[in-house]
Amino acid sequence: MLTSYITRDPKILGGKPIIKNTRISVELIMRKFANGYTMEELLKNYPHLKKEQIEACFEYSANVLANEEFFEIV
């Protein structure tokens, strides 16, 4: 599912992950939710997006966090 909706292109937004065929970054969607937007508000404000595309942003973000590595600096 993820690769159906999320892509990266060095020519678009400096290579940040975006919703495929848009210039809307995963970061933008996650920040909207962090600032209190609901799924319904996002779909209303971005009528060309589908719920599945927005859900893919959550999946992408979760995958990035799951694979994050921590290095303790002593």
The pLDDT score that the predictor gives to residue 1 is 63
54 CB contacts (<8 Å, ≥6 apart)? 29, 39, 42, 43
The pLDDT score that the predictor gives to residue 10 is 94
Whole-structure pTM value: 0.86
Domain boundaries, the chain: 22-63
Q: What is the pLDDT of residues 28-63, one digit of tens each?
A: 999 999 999 999 999 999 999 999 999 999 999 999
Strand partners, 41: none
Terminal Cα-to-Cα distance of the chain (whole angstroms): 40
- Mean pLDDT of the region 2-11: 90
